[in-house]
Amino acid sequence: MQLDAQGNLKHFLTLDGLERSLLTDILDRAEGFLGVARQAVKKVPLCRGKIIANLFFETSTRTRTTFELAAKRLSADVLNLNISTSATAKGETLLDTLRNLEAMHVDMFVVRHADSGAAHFIATHAAAPVAVINAGDGCYSHPTQAMLDMFTIRAHKGGFEGLTVAIIGDVLHSRVARSQITALNTLGVAEVRAIGPSTLVPARSEEALGVRVFHDLRAGLRGVDVIILLRLQHERMDGGFLPSEHEYFHLFGLTDKRLGLAAPDAIVMHPGPINRGVEMDSSVADGERSVILEQVSNGLAVRMAVMSMCIGTQNLWLHAAGQQPPAEVGDV
């Protein structure tokens, strides 16, 4: 569903089933878009004349803003649907909303929804030329977040082979963790560790997700090269998964002392938003090993790459660059 007959992206819904070469292609293309932010005019014409609609049925600040800015840097026209005042809030079905937007000749839908599978549903029912990007659905998938995290890891580590990556926190409810684990295993890291309480990292995760599970933070942190912390997904918890946030920090919060168990050059990541004093100390979040703000900056380049690929403008790029991604996309 995500690929056309030539193997190019037409939707970006999940990382499941995508080849390593395609993920690497996304990272390589994003590399070229980094230079756009350094230009006097922070725009390239790859999506000029295209209309991109942000359909955020779930609250978001960072993801929605970066998708909007990425679309504008590609010179696309952006339509932000205000769900609280949209027709869906008045009883219109999601499918009817989709048909009305298609009638406005929208070229791409960027979808965030609280229900797993919503982006797949829209992609299944969207008219053939319309591309769909999943900006996070339920507990299932958040592929662009995972790819910007992979971009950040590659920038600091040079590659993925031989790396040990620890993902700490609420793996059970995290769509980000699922996409990260898929990407890391596809790109060939040595080991992915999932660390957290048994209520949030079930033992079956080892077989279902392809990770090594630790319920002891100190044991799980030893020697790791990359640490990815996750937010506690309270909005998706319908029971007593934790005694308290204080108890969680006592057992699984990242402090400078605990960070010392990792490799000396280990980096610290977080998809945001950060809950200081719950997932980590402020000294770690703001420390020299933190690359959290870099993740945000890299998110723009990665989302520009994915959007341009899905909307079909990558062919313009390759033609202008003689079949190779340019060092600076702004030269196109």
- The CA distance from 283 to 254, in Å, is 10
Is 48 a known ligand-binding residue? Answer: no
Is 204 a known ligand-binding residue? Answer: no
Q: Which residue has the tokens 């909007």?
A: 68
- The CA distance from 211 to 24, in Å, is 21
Is 73 a known ligand-binding residue? Answer: no
Is 272 a known ligand-binding residue? Answer: yes
Is 112 a known ligand-binding residue? Answer: yes
Which of 259, 250, 277 lies closest to 221, judged by CA?
Answer: 259
Sign of the torsion formed by the C-alpha atoms of 85, 87, 92 and 96: negative
Helix (H) or strand (E) holding 320: helix 314-320
- The CA distance from 93 to 299, in Å, is 31
Is 29 a known ligand-binding residue? Answer: no
List the Cα angle 128/97/137 in 5-degree steps: 80
Q: Which two tokens stand for residue 282?
A: 């402020």
Is 10 a known ligand-binding residue? Answer: no
- The CA distance from 3 to 11, in Å, is 7
**β-pairing, 191-195 with 226-229?**
unpaired
Is 154 a known ligand-binding residue? Answer: no
93-121 burial, b at 16+ Cβ within 10 Å, e below that, comes to ebeebbeebbeeebbbbbbbbeeeebbbb
- The CA distance from 103 to 107, in Å, is 11
Describe the crossing of helices 292-310 and 143-157 by its angle, rounded to 10 degrees. 120
Rg of the chain over CA atoms, in angstroms?
20
Which of 176, 178, 67, 193 lies closest to 132, judged by CA?
Answer: 67
Point out the annotated binding site for carbamoyl phosphate.
62-63, 112, 142, 145, 272-273
Point out the annotated binding site for L-aspartate.
90, 175, 231
Point out the annotated binding site.
62-63, 90, 112, 142, 145, 175, 231, 272-273
